[in-house]
Structure 1
Amino acid sequence: MDSTILWGSLALLMAAVLVPEGRNRLGYTAGSIGWGLFAVHWSLQFIHFLGIRDYYNVFLTAVIITFSLLMSYMMLKGRDSGSQSRILLKATSTAAIGGIIYYAFVEVAFLKNWIIVFVKDQIVMTLLAFGVPLTTTGNIIYFRENELGIEIILACTAIESIALFVAMILSVDAPLRRRLGALAMSIGIIHVTNVLRTVFIATAYWYEWFGAPQASFYMAHTVIAKPASGLILFAVAYLLLRMMPELLSGILDLWKYVSGKVRDLLSAPTLSP
């Protein structure tokens, strides 16, 4: 059921972007429903993360739900042809493109298997280049002979971050050459640093750099690699904004538009009993 809700929301979001300009009312209605369904999808994820006490993702999903509901409301109320309303279509385009790219790799077995194998092979080659003895079985990499296996799953491929940056770049009105350069820069840095991140985690785990294997894995993965990944994504975003000032302008325009609508909602008069 969740998959149906998700793909339904993405289809409606993309439809909102593709509807001809002369039929704005239809497009904005589709976008409003699409954002609403997107909020429903993330509400189900919120319940899941709350159940397993993953409070970091609980917070992130709560932010996404709030933003999705706000976008749904603004799409419903902003069904006109003004330039400000087109800001909503840019944000909708980014969400639709990013969602379709990411969830295609989640749902389509061929794409999912391909990217996992591709990233696993890159990790194995890097480990071997550093002289780490290993063996592999399927998508599992073992230290020496079947010791302390690490399974490479979709979350190890950085496809979420890649999909986000690709969506932002493709949604911006900029010359093709600069967009291609931005794609090469962002995808390249994210992929290479993700491979090195996994190599670091595996090596720390196998060689017990921070104590017992499980303690070393936790320290390398959660305490060191996760914040480092955030800093790298921040750096990539900074470089992207330098390469594509149109993207920064779009983000600022969206912020002004959304914050203005929120202020209007908060300052709206209430009825007294």
Structure 2
Amino acid sequence: MTAVVPEFLPDVLAWVVVAAFVATAALERYDRRRARVVGAGAWVAFGAFWGVLFPQFAFGMKSFVEGALSLAAVPLCLYAGYQLYAGRDSLFLLSRAVGAMGLIYLPFTTVEPAREFLVEAVSYQTYLVIEALGYDPAFTVAEENGYHSAFVFTDATGHEYYTYLVLACTGIGSMSIFGGLIAAVDAPLRRKLRAFALAVGVIWLLNVARNVFIALAFGNQWFQFFVDPITTLVGYSQPGMVSFFIADRVLSQLLALVALVGILWLVVRDVPEVLTIVEDVAYLVTGNEYDLRRTVAADGGTRRDDAGR
């Protein structure tokens, strides 16, 4: 039996979490003792947020990668809250970053015109690339959200393969992550803006390529492998969904993790201060302390041409 989560709960929790992290950042300047208490509570709420999302990712969306990550995030958030409360003040920086990520991301989930514009802009660019590659699906309005974001491929037998883009297909989540990381650290504005522009540009291009790949793979049924085991495991009623599952839930999501690491490397070349946050995340995961800034600097991995500007 799949747990039923009220639709409003993730959004409410998200705003509570962001408000708590923003309050933590504000209190940090004046009263660190209270900031630790509020920050610890924010991390507990953040853990609850990921716990609430787990059934949606794992069972609703059939995404084992996102399901596993959301489940792993629960104890990590609780541990981060404990460490912050116990006096690991470097976690104030990570807390500030999470708050900034939320401030970037949440408006697109709640402001309808912003969400519609972003989804339709990415959908149109995806369609242009698909068309340039020699394919001609119908590009139409999605029944599910009313946005011009749906692609319909028709095979030789007249069978239609329908897919559509949603907010998660725009890359705004990844953009918010890097925007939050860059905004949180103390570094010259010029370097921060340059790193943010680079991250957003790369994410945008890779995301459009990802959408094109998934649409073509599903529309042309490129990955009809292990159909019976996958349909049984995932619970699909239509065998054709196997191509979508492999293209999106497996290949694209695994490659996205690799891409995020690569983009992080590009960002820290301009803003090595971000490595302080990465060090804390690594500590929470492994329990070991790291000095990544010294390692990266020793390898010549950071730019120093305008370090003082």
TM-score range, shorter chain: 0.7 to 0.9
Q: CA deviation at 1:150?
A: 1.6
Q: CA deviation at 1:94?
A: 0.8
Given candidates 187, 194, 204, the residue that maps to 1:191 is 204
User: What secondary structure does 1:19 align onto?
Assistant: helix
Task: Assess, with a 3 A threshold, how the Cα gap between structure 1 residues 253 and 120 changes in structure 2: closer, same or farther.
Answer: closer
Gaps of 5+ in 2: 1-7, 142-148, 225-238, 290-309
2:134 pairs with 1:131: yes
2:224 pairs with 1:216: no
Gaps of 5+ in 1: 79-83, 262-273
Matches within 5 A, 1:69-80: 69-78=78-87
User: What secondary structure does 2:173 align onto?
Assistant: helix
- The residue number in structure 2 matching 1:141 is 151
Task: Assess, with a 3 A threshold, how the Cα gap between structure 1 residues 47 and 153 changes in structure 2: closer, same or farther.
Answer: closer
- The residue number in structure 1 matching 2:194 is 181
* 1:188-225 alpha-carbon deviations (Å, 9 max, x no partner): 11110110111122222223334485343333334432
- The residue number in structure 1 matching 2:41 is 33
Task: Assess, with a 3 A threshold, how the Cα gap between structure 1 residues 90 and 101 changes in structure 2: closer, same or farther.
Answer: same
TM-score (norm 1): 0.82
Opposite residue 67 of structure 1, the aligned amino acid is L
1:135 touches 1:146 (CA, 8 Å); kept in 2?
A: no
User: What secondary structure does 1:208 align onto?
Assistant: coil
- The residue number in structure 2 matching 1:101 is 104
Opposite residue 136 of structure 2, the aligned amino acid is P
Given candidates 63, 69, 88, the residue that maps to 2:91 is 88
Given candidates 257, 279, 299, the residue that maps to 1:230 is 257
2:77 pairs with 1:68: yes
Q: Which stretch of structure 1 is more off in the superposition, 185-194 or 250-259?
A: 250-259
- The residue number in structure 2 matching 1:9 is 17
Opposite residue 133 of structure 2, the aligned amino acid is F
Q: CA separation in 2, counterparts of 1:227 and 1:50?
A: 15
Opposite residue 191 of structure 2, the aligned amino acid is R
Opposite residue 4 of structure 1, the aligned amino acid is V
Q: CA deviation at 1:20?
A: 5.8
TM-score (norm 2): 0.73
Given candidates 45, 53, 57, the residue that maps to 2:53 is 45
User: What secondary structure does 1:132 align onto?
Assistant: coil
Q: CA deviation at 1:163?
A: 0.8
1:206 touches 1:213 (CA, 8 Å); kept in 2?
A: no
Opposite residue 74 of structure 1, the aligned amino acid is Q
Q: CA deviation at 1:8?
A: 1.6
User: What secondary structure does 1:203 align onto?
Assistant: helix
- The residue number in structure 2 matching 1:56 is 65
User: What secondary structure does 2:185 align onto?
Assistant: coil
User: What secondary structure does 1:22 align onto?
Assistant: coil
2:64 touches 2:249 (CA, 8 Å); kept in 1?
A: no
- The residue number in structure 1 matching 2:114 is 111
Q: CA separation in 1, counterparts of 2:125 and 2:159?
A: 19
- The residue number in structure 1 matching 2:304 is none
Task: Assess, with a 3 A threshold, how the Cα gap between structure 1 residues 58 and 232 changes in structure 2: closer, same or farther.
Answer: closer
Opposite residue 171 of structure 1, the aligned amino acid is A
Q: CA deviation at 1:50?
A: 5.5
Task: Assess, with a 3 A threshold, how the Cα gap between structure 1 residues 42 and 180 changes in structure 2: closer, same or farther.
Answer: same
Q: Which stretch of structure 1 is more off in the superposition, 137-146 or 63-72?
A: 137-146
User: What secondary structure does 1:142 align onto?
Assistant: strand
Q: CA deviation at 1:51?
A: 5.0
Which has the larger helix fraction? 1
Q: CA deviation at 1:232?
A: 1.7
Q: How many residues align?
A: 255
Q: CA separation in 1, counterparts of 2:169 and 2:76?
A: 27
